[in-house]
Amino acid sequence: MTKLNMVKVVPAVTLTMVVLVIVYMSMQSMRANAWYFNALNIVQEPDGALSGSRLQAAENAITLATNMDPEHPHYWHFLAHIKMLGLTGIDTTSSEQAEHIQQVYKQAEQALVKSVELRQTWALTWISLAQVVSYQEGPTERVYNYIQQAKKVGPYKLDVHLGIIQIALMHWNELPPTYKALYVNELKLASKYGYKFYDVFSMAGQMNRLPIVCLSLQFGSHYEAVRGSWMFNKYCG
């Protein structure tokens, strides 16, 4: 083969290889997306609580998605969400289940860490990471740092305020002053969301922490609208 022919063939081969790689990556991305929606559809099934087998099917599907497209941050976030769904209905204070529960927390944490490594700008991932780590460690400095990251990238997101309030209420008896100040501030910010403040009452009720929230709302002019609402009368009246 002459040098001229070689000059023509080498770029053509290189271009072909590049195209093949792009096609392969595109196919993998499409397949991963299909598995993600498979998992999402299972989790969103309208027939109530997920059975163990259906939840496992969802976890298998999203795990395939992360294997096929490991650089997609939302797949890792959703894997952590499914892991945590597996603890629904389980007594997380049970000593018999302690090893399994800690294993799930650690797996969810690892998936969320992977997600924030790939995408640092999504507040919901940061607050989810703060919650999962708080279940393992309590209100530690590491949890506080994750909270600050969530507030930095999502300062006006109600889900961030709710997540912080949830962490504070869960660890109320061991809450350091910095966290109590954080709780007061987040409750004040959440009160600006009108009827959506219902989510705070609902969450506190599920956690058996309504007396704490109701007492907190008794003081301060910024809670006047909440105190005058049907929500307050229903949960604190």
- Measured between its terminal Cα atoms, the distance across the chain in Å is 91
In a domain, 177, yes or no: no
Q: How many CB atoms lie within 10 A of CB 144?
A: 18
pLDDT of residue 17: 56
Q: Using CA of residue 23, residue 24, residue 25, residue 27, what is the dihedral sign?
A: positive
Q: Are 138 and 169 in contact (CB under 8 A)?
A: no
In a domain, 35, yes or no: yes
pLDDT of residue 96: 77
pLDDT of residue 232: 94
What is the Cα–Cα distance from 79 to 129, expressed in whole angstroms? 13
Coil/strand/helix, residue 160: helix
pLDDT of residue 78: 96
The total of structural domains in the chain comes to 1
Query: Which residues in the chain land under pLDDT 50?
Result: 1, 4, 6-10, 20, 24
In a domain, 20, yes or no: yes
What is the Cα–Cα distance from 70 to 42, expressed in whole angstroms? 21
pLDDT of residue 7: 47
What is the Cα–Cα distance from 146 to 134, expressed in whole angstroms? 10
Domain span at residue 84 reads 1-119
pLDDT of residue 27: 65
In a domain, 45, yes or no: yes
Q: How many CB atoms lie within 10 A of CB 57?
A: 15
pLDDT of residue 140: 96
In a domain, 80, yes or no: yes
In a domain, 86, yes or no: yes
What is the Cα–Cα distance from 11 to 40, expressed in whole angstroms? 43
Tokens of 163: 């997540």
pLDDT of residue 4: 46
Tokens of 37: 């929606």
What is the Cα–Cα distance from 195 to 217, expressed in whole angstroms? 15
In a domain, 5, yes or no: yes
Q: Can you give the CATH number for the domain in which 5 is found? A: 1.25.40
In a domain, 33, yes or no: yes
